[in-house]
Structure 1
Amino acid sequence: MFEIAVVLLLVVINGVFSLSELAVVSARRPRLRAMAAEGRPGAAAALKLAEDPGRFLSTVQIGITLVGVLAGAFSGSALGGMLSATLLKAGMPANIANPLGFGAVVAVVTYLSIVVGELVPKRLALRNPEGLACLMAPLMRLVSRIAAPAVWLLDTSTTAIFRLLGQGGASEERVTEDDVHSLVAEAEQSGAIEETEREMITGVLRLGDRPVRGIMTPRSDVHWIDLLAPEEETRALLMRTQHSRLAVGEGTVDALIGVVQTRELLAAYLAGQAFDVRAATRPAPVIPDAADALDALDVLRQAEVPVALVHDEYGHFEGIVTPADLLEAITGSFRANEDANEPGAVERDDGTWLLPGWLPADEMADRLRIRLPENRSFHTVAGFLLAAFGRIPSVGEARNILGWRFEVMDLDGRRIDKVLAAPAAAAAVPVPGRPGRGTMA
C-alpha cells in the first residue's frame, strides 16, 4: 500500500505542475494586474511568473521531469516486482509473469499520469486560469528558488539556442484589433454582452479607422443659408429645415463663412427682432478630408459650434462633419427624418442583401463577412462598386467580388442608390483598391 500511495502522490504532484503551467500561461496579464491592484493574494506572484516565462517554464519542466523519472523508477522496481511475484505465486510461468507484471504496472501508471497528471489539471486550469494562477504562483516561486541553479542552467541554455536561431529578442505581448473583435464576438456568444453592445463596440473600432471623408455629410446633402438670397427664401428654409445648425455662405457653397444655430434665428424671428443671419453666424473650423475621424472629434470638442467644414487638398469644400456623424459611425447608419422610410442593409429570406449606396463600406463588410483592403479610396457601397466598375454602371449591371455578386438595382441620377448582394459560386475579381490581376464576371 505504501508503494501505491507514493506513486499516486507523484502523479498528483505532476498534475500540480501541469495545472500551474497552463494556468499561468493562459492567464490574461491585464486581468492579473487588476487582481494585483485589488490586493488578491498570489496575483503579484503570478504576474511576475507570467512576465518571466523562460524561468517559470524551466521550473515546471524540472518538476515534471523529476516526478516522471521517480514515478517510472519506483513503479517499475517496486510495484512491477510486487505484481510479478504475485503472478508467480499464482502459478504463472516466469517468462510470462515478469513482463506482464512490469507491463501492467507501466500501463496503469501511464494512464494515471495522462489523465490525473495532465488532462484533468489542464482542463481545470483552462476554466479559471487567473484564479488558479494566483493560487499556485507562491508555490511555483518557492520551487523556483529551491531549484535556482538548475533553473538558471536550463533558462540560459534555452536563451542561447534561441539566439543561435535568430530569435534572441524578447517577444512582445501585443493585442491586435482582430483579437479585440474575436474577444467581443466570444463575449456575445457566451451571453456576457448583447448583440447591440457588440455592434457598438465594433463601431467604436471602426471610427478609429475611418477618415473624415468616410463619415462626413457630403456637400450634395448639405443644407446651407445663402447670405445673398432674399430674406423670404431664408425664412422659408428655416421653417422647413430639420437641422439645428446650418452652414452659411455667400453666393455659393464653396464660399462658406461659418455656421448658424437655427434656434437663434427662429427665436429672433418669433420675437419680432431684426433678422440678421450674418450677425448670428459663428466661425466653424476647417479640417482636411483625409484627417482621422478621431481628430475630427477633438476639433468638434473645442469648436464654438460643434460643426466642422471639410475641405480637400485643393481647398474645395467637400462636406460637413458633426457629432451626429460620429455617433452614426458608432451605432450604425440611421437617417434623418426625411429619409426615415429608407432602410439600411436588409437581409432577405433567400440570404441576399439589399444595400443602400450610402451605407459605409466597412459596415457592409461586417454584414457580408468580407475583408476590405486597409488602403482604399472608397468609403461607401456606391464607392466600392465604382472602384470595381471603374465607371458609373447602368441598372442591372453586376460584378462578382470576394465571393458575392453585386448588382446595381437603382440609380439616383449618377449616384448608385440600391445594390443587391447575393452569394456567388466564385469570385474572379481582385478587391477594389488592391493591386492585382483578375477578370470581372
Structure 2
Amino acid sequence: MSLLTASVFLLLLLALSAFVSAAEIAIAAGRKIKLQIMAKEGEVRAFDVLKMQEHPGSFITVVQVVLNAVAISAGAVGESAISPYLQMLVNNEAVSSVISFILITSSFSLLADLMPRRLAMSNAEIVAVRLVRPMMLLIFIFKPVIWVFDGAANILFKFLGISTIRQDDMTPEDIYAVMDAGAEAGVLKKQEHHLIENIFDMQERTVTSVMNPRENIVYFDTRTSNEKVVEVMIEQPHNKFLVCHDDDLEHIIGYVESRSFLALVLNQQEVSLTDKALLKPALFVPDTLSLFEVLEMFKSTGSDFAVIVNEYGMVVGIITLKDVMSIVMGELVTLEEQPIVQRTDNSWLIDGMTPIEDVVRALDIVNLPRSQNYETISGFMMYMLRKIPKKTDTIEYANYRFEIIATDNLKITQMLVTKFEDIT
C-alpha cells in the first residue's frame, strides 16, 4: 500500500473514530431535562437521543465494535505503510516500528479521542442531536453484530439480575444541586434561590416549627364581658380570637373575628361571643403535619387559621396562613421584629423560639446533633445542656458559642451566638 493510499485510509479511520467518540460522550452525557425541552421546542432528533439513552445496549455495542476495529485497522495500516520510510531514516527495523506505533497511537489519542470527547462534553445536547441520526445508521449497518454481542450481554445481565435501563428520576438532592449550580452561575438570583429552597423546606418542617405557641395564644371565655373583649381586641393586633368554655383551651368552641365583633359594638347592637352569626368553627390539625400539608388543608377548607393539637388532645399552638407564607417568602418580606439579627460579622442575637431550621441556615451550620428531638434554638440548648437552661449558660458547637443572655421564668427569650475567629 502506497503512502498516499495509507494516509487517506488513516484519515478516514481518524474521522470515523472521532465521530464515534464524540457521539458516545454526547449521547451518554446529554441531560434528560434539556433534551425534553428541546423536543418540546420542535427538535425531533432529541426524541431519538432520549430513546437511545433509555435503551443504550445497541449504541454501546456499536461504539465498542467500531472503536476496536478502527484501532486494529489503524495499527495494521500505519505499521505497514509508515515503518518502511522510518526504517530508511533510522536504519533500524525495531526502532522504526516503535516510532510508527507512537505516531499512530498519539495521533488517534489526540485527534480521534481526547479532542472529540472534550468538545462533545462541553456541548453534549447539541452534539447529541446532530450525531444521533448517523449513529442510528451505524446501528442499522452493524445490526447482525449487535444482535450477537448485545444479546449475549443481555443474557448475562438477566442471569445476574442487573437492570440496564437508565434511571433519571429526580430526587430533592438533585434539585438542590441544580439550584446551587444555577445560583453560582448567576442564572438564579439570591432571592429566587432562597424562595425555591424555602418551598422545599415546607415538606420537611412541621407546623410546630412556626406556630404561635400555647402560652402566647390570646383567647376569650364565653363569660367574658363585651367591654373586656373590646379592650383586648384593641390592645392585641390579632384578627381572630379563640372562644373557650370554662376558660380552658381544651374546650374550644370556635373563634370570632375582631372586625365583625367591633363593627357590631360600634353600631350599638346586641353582641355575644356565642352568637352563631359571629362564632365560626375552628379548624383543628395534628402537630405532625408538615407546612405543605397544612397549606393544602387551608386550600381545601378555605380557612387561613388552624388550632394545632398534639397526640394527647392538648392545644399546643395556632398557625395562620400568614405564618406559613412568611416561611415561604423568607428574606423577601420584612417583618417588624426579626428573630435573627446579625450584630457583627461573627455574632448574632437570636430569639429563643426561632425554628432550628432558620438558625442552621443563618449560621451556615451543616447539621446539629439529634435535630429530630427539638424544633427551636431553645430546644437545642436544653438538649445540649441536659438541664433547664438559665441565664449565662453557654455551649460550644461547630465553631460557635451559644450563650443565653435573657430568660423569662423557664423560657429562653434571647441568645447571643458568636463564631470563633479562624486561626491560621
Of residues 154-163 and 306-315 in structure 1, the stretch that sits farther from structure 2 once superposed is 154-163
Instruction: Give the Cα–Cα distance (whole angstroms) in 1 for the partners of residues 156 and 402 of structure 2.
Output: 53
Q: Secondary structure at the match of 1:13?
A: helix
What CA deviation, in whole Å up to 9, does each residue of 1:169-223 have, x standing for no partner? 7564332222211111110000000111111111111100122222322112223
CA gap 1:239/1:107 in 2 versus in 1, 3 angstroms: same
The percentage of counterpart residues that share the same residue type is: 25
Q: Which residue in 1 is equivalent to 2:307?
A: 309
Q: Which residue in 1 is equivalent to 2:184?
A: 189
Would you say the 8 A contact 2:59–2:139 is kept in 1? yes
Q: Which residue in 1 is equivalent to 2:320?
A: 322
Aligned mate of 1:412, from 392, 408, 414: 408
Q: Which residue in 2 is equivalent to 1:369?
A: 365
Would you say the 8 A contact 1:284–1:303 is kept in 2? no
Q: Which residue in 2 is equivalent to 1:265?
A: 261
Instruction: Give the Cα–Cα distance (whole angstroms) in 1 for the partners of residues 56 and 370 of structure 2.
Output: 34
Would you say the 8 A contact 1:355–1:421 is kept in 2? yes
Q: Secondary structure at the match of 1:379?
A: coil
Q: Which residue in 2 is equivalent to 1:229?
A: 224
Aligned mate of 1:84, from 63, 87, 100: 87
Deviation at 1:166, TM superposition (A): 5.4
Q: Which residue in 2 is equivalent to 1:219?
A: 214
Q: Secondary structure at the match of 2:203?
A: helix
- Asked if 1:72 is matched to 2:46, the reply is no
CA gap 1:366/1:276 in 2 versus in 1, 3 angstroms: same
Would you say the 8 A contact 2:239–2:258 is kept in 1? yes
- Read off the aligned partner of 1:313 and give its amino acid letter: E
- Asked if 1:396 is matched to 2:399, the reply is no
Q: Secondary structure at the match of 1:209?
A: coil
Name the TM-score, length of structure 2 as normaliser.
0.87
- Asked if 1:154 is matched to 2:149, the reply is yes
State how 1:268-287 maps to structure 2 within 5 Å.
Answer: 268-279=264-275, 280-287=278-285
CA gap 1:114/1:413 in 2 versus in 1, 3 angstroms: farther
Q: Which residue in 1 is equivalent to 2:340?
A: 344
Q: Secondary structure at the match of 2:121?
A: helix
Aligned mate of 1:173, from 137, 159, 168: 168
Instruction: Give the Cα–Cα distance (whole angstroms) in 2 for the partners of residues 400 and 196 of structure 1.
Output: 31
Would you say the 8 A contact 1:345–1:354 is kept in 2? yes
Deviation at 1:161, TM superposition (A): 4.4
Instruction: Give the Cα–Cα distance (whole angstroms) in 2 for the partners of residues 202 and 83 of structure 1.
Output: 65
Q: Which residue in 1 is equivalent to 2:131?
A: 136
Of residues 14-23 and 404-413 in structure 1, the stretch that sits farther from structure 2 once superposed is 404-413
Deviation at 1:372, TM superposition (A): 4.7
Aligned mate of 2:50, from 40, 44, 47: 47
Q: Secondary structure at the match of 1:75?
A: helix
Deviation at 1:31, TM superposition (A): 2.6
Instruction: Give the Cα–Cα distance (whole angstroms) in 1 for the partners of residues 289 and 175 of structure 2.
Output: 24
Aligned mate of 1:22, from 22, 25, 31: 25
CA gap 1:65/1:343 in 2 versus in 1, 3 angstroms: same
Would you say the 8 A contact 1:282–1:305 is kept in 2? no
Q: Which residue in 2 is equivalent to 1:431?
A: none
Would you say the 8 A contact 2:352–2:413 is kept in 1? yes
- Read off the aligned partner of 2:184 and give its amino acid letter: Q
Instruction: Give the Cα–Cα distance (whole angstroms) in 2 for the partners of residues 46 and 336 of structure 1.
Output: 47
- Read off the aligned partner of 2:198 and give its amino acid letter: G
Deviation at 1:64, TM superposition (A): 1.7
Instruction: Give the Cα–Cα distance (whole angstroms) in 2 for the partners of residues 421 and 113 of structure 1.
Output: 60
Instruction: Give the Cα–Cα distance (whole angstroms) in 2 for the partners of residues 67 and 373 of structure 1.
Output: 57
Would you say the 8 A contact 1:259–1:305 is kept in 2? no
Q: Which residue in 2 is equivalent to 1:61?
A: 64
CA gap 1:136/1:336 in 2 versus in 1, 3 angstroms: closer
Deviation at 1:382, TM superposition (A): 1.6
Instruction: Give the Cα–Cα distance (whole angstroms) in 1 for the partners of residues 387 and 297 of structure 2.
Output: 35
Deviation at 1:155, TM superposition (A): 2.8
Q: Which residue in 2 is equivalent to 1:380?
A: 376
State how 1:345-360 maps to structure 2 within 5 Å.
Answer: 345-346=341-342, 348-349=344-345, 351-360=346-355
What CA deviation, in whole Å up to 9, does each residue of 1:269-328 have, x standing for no partner? 333433333331211221110122222112111334321111011111111121112112
Name the TM-score, length of structure 1 as normaliser.
0.84
- Asked if 1:104 is matched to 2:99, the reply is yes
Q: Secondary structure at the match of 2:373?
A: coil
CA gap 1:157/1:403 in 2 versus in 1, 3 angstroms: farther
Deviation at 1:20, TM superposition (A): 1.4
Instruction: Give the Cα–Cα distance (whole angstroms) in 2 for the partners of residues 138 and 373 of structure 1.
Output: 54
Q: Secondary structure at the match of 2:366?
A: coil
- Read off the aligned partner of 2:267 and give its amino acid letter: A
- Read off the aligned partner of 2:380 and give its amino acid letter: F
Would you say the 8 A contact 1:283–1:304 is kept in 2? no
- Read off the aligned partner of 2:30 and give its amino acid letter: A
Would you say the 8 A contact 2:55–2:166 is kept in 1? no
- Read off the aligned partner of 1:292 and give its amino acid letter: S
CA gap 1:283/1:146 in 2 versus in 1, 3 angstroms: same
State how 1:413-428 maps to structure 2 within 5 Å.
Answer: 413-422=409-418
CA gap 1:115/1:273 in 2 versus in 1, 3 angstroms: farther
- Asked if 1:117 is matched to 2:119, the reply is no
Would you say the 8 A contact 1:284–1:304 is kept in 2? no
CA gap 1:253/1:139 in 2 versus in 1, 3 angstroms: same
State how 1:425-440 maps to structure 2 within 5 Å.
Answer: none
- Aligned-residue Cα RMSD (Å) equals 2.8
Would you say the 8 A contact 2:249–2:315 is kept in 1? yes
Aligned mate of 1:296, from 290, 294, 297: 294
CA gap 1:326/1:285 in 2 versus in 1, 3 angstroms: same
Instruction: Give the Cα–Cα distance (whole angstroms) in 1 for the partners of residues 119 and 408 of structure 2.
Output: 60
Q: Which residue in 2 is equivalent to 1:436?
A: none
Q: Secondary structure at the match of 1:332?
A: helix
- Read off the aligned partner of 1:329 and give its amino acid letter: I
CA gap 1:183/1:152 in 2 versus in 1, 3 angstroms: same
What CA deviation, in whole Å up to 9, does each residue of 1:375-395 have, x standing for no partner? 713122222222222322223
Q: Structure 2 unaligned segments of length 5 or more: list them.
A: none
Instruction: Give the Cα–Cα distance (whole angstroms) in 2 for the partners of residues 80 and 403 of structure 1.
Output: 67
Instruction: Give the Cα–Cα distance (whole angstroms) in 2 for the partners of residues 220 and 334 of structure 1.
Output: 29
Instruction: Give the Cα–Cα distance (whole angstroms) in 2 for the partners of residues 81 and 262 of structure 1.
Output: 102
